[in-house]
Structure 1
């Protein structure tokens, strides 16, 4: 009986997590499909890419983009969904490796050249989207 309950609880947690991710992404967002990674200049911290095909407007009207960060000291990277406030030069990570980060705070790039370059490039590429809001 304990194993059955444990399996049920695991399945429920996975279902709730998937539902939360889909709700956080918004109804018109489709993340599946080929990606078109654009790498920004490497820094001592590592490497970072952003996907041109993932540019969307978030529910709040900000630009949303899928990014990948690989620290210099590691082989594995992490995937982020970032919201960008192009007008104020701020960002927030709304998802890390597919897990939503509810109530993520807006923050400045803090001199991080990787994030600054992603923000600059993605905002430039999303000009038409931002003009339509």
Structure 2
């Protein structure tokens, strides 16, 4: 009787190990597929930065509001080298041309408020390009 219980216990342990391995593989694959779906398109460029947009990320939320993913590269104007890169998830109100960054580099911004681009060419261009077909 003791030998049967030990055999069942060993089989259950092996099954559990296989299940954990399968789950790890599935969760890893999901992250790889998501990263492969980003298609950055340059929207605007200034001597101090470049703004990109993932057009496939545009999600219409209703009442003129969209959500999308952008990437900003800060450029050193002295040598034209990238000195900083940030990924944003933004909401844009296409009716008022205001925006809010709800996530920066994967960190959610729960206190984000609607802002005016205040003449920032990169933000203005992202807003007009993104809202074009909404």
Name the structure where strand makes up a greater proportion of residues: 2
Runs of 4+ in structure 1 deviating by more than 2 angstroms, as ranges, are: 57-61, 73-76
- TM superposition score normalised by structure 1: 0.65
Distance 1:61 1:117, change over 3 A: closer
* RMSD across aligned positions (CA): 2.1
- TM superposition score normalised by structure 2: 0.65
* Per-residue deviation, residues 55-82 of structure 1 (Å, max 9, x unmatched): 0134887200100001112344110001
Matches within 5 A, 1:76-115: 76-115=84-123
2:91, 2:75 → 1: CA distance?
24
Structure 2 spans left out of the alignment, 5+ residues: 1-32, 77-81
Structure 1 spans left out of the alignment, 5+ residues: 1-30, 128-133
Looking at CA atoms only, which structure, 1 or 2, has the larger radius of gyration? Answer: 2
* Per-residue deviation, residues 24-66 of structure 1 (Å, max 9, x unmatched): xxxxxxx924112121231133101010110013488720010
Corresponding position: 1:47 with 2:50 = yes
Count of residue pairs the alignment pairs up? 96
Tell which has more relative contact order, 1 or 2 (C-alpha 8 A, sep 6+): 1
